[in-house]
Amino acid sequence: MSQPLTVDCPTCGAPVEWNEKSPFRPFCSDRCKLIDLGAWAAEEHKIPGAEESEDELYSGDLEPRH
């Protein structure tokens, strides 16, 4: 019989079996999932890429104000 696939919880590092019995995978619990979500919302995590200011992102989308 093969070993079940396990991954480490990205928040606390606890081992998590990757199957239907682990509803929060890759997290070990709802708490760890919410901690990670909060970190993304607080911009503690970012997807790598070129930094752009808000002015650069939206300047072409808006009509000039007079």
What are the boundaries of each domain within the chain? Answer: 1-44
Is 32 labelled a binding residue?
Answer: yes
2-43 pLDDT tens trace: 888 999 999 999 999 999 999 999 999 999 999 999 999 999
Quote the pTM value. 0.66
Rg (CA), the chain: 20
CATH number for 1-44 (one of 3.30.50.10, 3.40.50.1370, 3.90.1310.10, 1.25.40.10): it is 3.30.50.10
Whether the Cβ atoms of residue 26 and residue 18 lie closer than 8 Å to each other: yes
Q: Does the annotation list 28 as a binding residue?
A: yes
| CA distances (Å), origin 25, targets 8, 30, 42, 57 | 10, 9, 22, 34
Which run of H or of E encompasses 8?
Answer: strand 6-8
